[in-house]
Structure 1
Amino acid sequence: MQSSSIDNICDVATPTTNPGLRLLLLPLVILAGMGLSVEAGLLGPLGVQVGHLWATLSIFGVGSAILFLLLLFSGPQQGPALNELPRWQLIGGFLGPIYVVVLTLATPHIGIAMTMIAILSGQVGKSVLIDHFGWFGATRKKVNGERWLALLLIVAALVLIARG
């Protein structure tokens, strides 16, 4: 049986990425981030109308149906069965709904911009730690002055958006 200790979190293989692929992925990730803002704008009113948990369930239901269709028509998938994976790798299934419920609750009260910059500050802050320590198989990237400055600027953006 595989151990679920914190030490095993660093044992995941990290794919190597060529620079051309990175240039293609960056705009897609930016567009996905824009999609999160649209999602927050849709979820807030939906949560007020039908309830926050029902709004979250509807978002995940639609997403699950789309993923099911994509899997159905994309052919056989390679990789281990879910029961062969370390349990910690499935934590995202728990974190996703929490994230969406928080989006649904917060957006009508603090606005989309404040919600997104607050989420961004949390994401970047935790991401810097994950990179620094190489958790979850990430390539280690030590926190340097530029990364500290980036975090400081995001916190400054959070303060400015909150005051504006």
Structure 2
Amino acid sequence: MPATHSALIMLIAGIGVPMLAALNAALGQKLGSPVAAAVILFVVALSTALVVFAVANLTTGASMRGALSAPPHLFLGGSLIAFYVLSITWIAPSFGVGNAVFFVLLGQLISAAIIDHFGLFGATPNPLTATRMAGIAVMGAGVFLTQIAGRG
């Protein structure tokens, strides 16, 4: 897949993150339970993933056979997404969707830089240069300016 297609798909996924936060936070408020909203989100997500898997299985022969032999730490992603959904559903209504998502984004930049720098979890190593650190610092300053200092 060309890099431009990959970039576009990830841009669309990024656009979806604040929408997910706002929609699920609103659902949590309507239900009176952020946890119930998260459960509903995961039921819908599982259903969607199963449909996509079924289609992929038809076209590529995708299989779950390797899951039984995979190292246990590779399954932590499920817990991490549950933590994200539960925390953003709970916190966004009072903290603001913008604040919540900007801090998530800052955390993602820091984590991604560490993962890339050390080549963790099979990632291609990409050293943390002064330029990359400056970019993260600029993002941090942007979070402060747009979300914290901008309230005055």
- Size of the aligned set, in residue pairs, is 145
Unaligned runs of 5+ in 2: none
Aligned with residue 147 of structure 1, among 126, 132, 136: 132
Residue in 2 that maps onto 1:125: 110
Residue in 2 that maps onto 1:163: 149
**Distance in 1 of aligned mates of 2:122 and 2:51:** 30
Residue in 2 that maps onto 1:110: 95
Name the % identity.
24
Give the residue type in structure 2 aligned to 1:87: P
Return the offset for 1:89: 0.8
Return the offset for 1:150: 0.8
More helix per residue? 2
Residue in 2 that maps onto 1:73: 55
**Distance in 2 of aligned mates of 1:88 and 1:155:** 30
Q: Deviations over 1:31-62 (max 9, x none)?
A: 10100111111011111222111110111100
Return the offset for 1:135: 0.3
Aligned with residue 38 of structure 2, among 56, 62, 82: 56
In structure 2, the CA distance between the partners of 1:57 and 1:79, relative to structure 1 (3 Å rule), is closer
Unaligned runs of 5+ in 1: 1-19
Return the offset for 1:146: 1.1
TM-score normalised by L of structure 1: 0.83
1:88 and 2:70 equivalent?
Answer: no
Residue in 2 that maps onto 1:35: 16
Return the offset for 1:112: 1.4
Secondary structure at the aligned position of 1:109 is classed as helix
Please, what is the CA RMSD of the aligned residues?
1.4
Secondary structure at the aligned position of 1:81 is classed as helix
Q: Deviations over 1:60-101 (max 9, x none)?
A: 100111111222233131464211111111110111111000
1:98 and 2:52 equivalent?
Answer: no
1:138 and 2:119 equivalent?
Answer: no
Structure number with greater CO (CA < 8 Å, separation at least 6) is 1
**Distance in 2 of aligned mates of 1:82 and 1:59:** 24
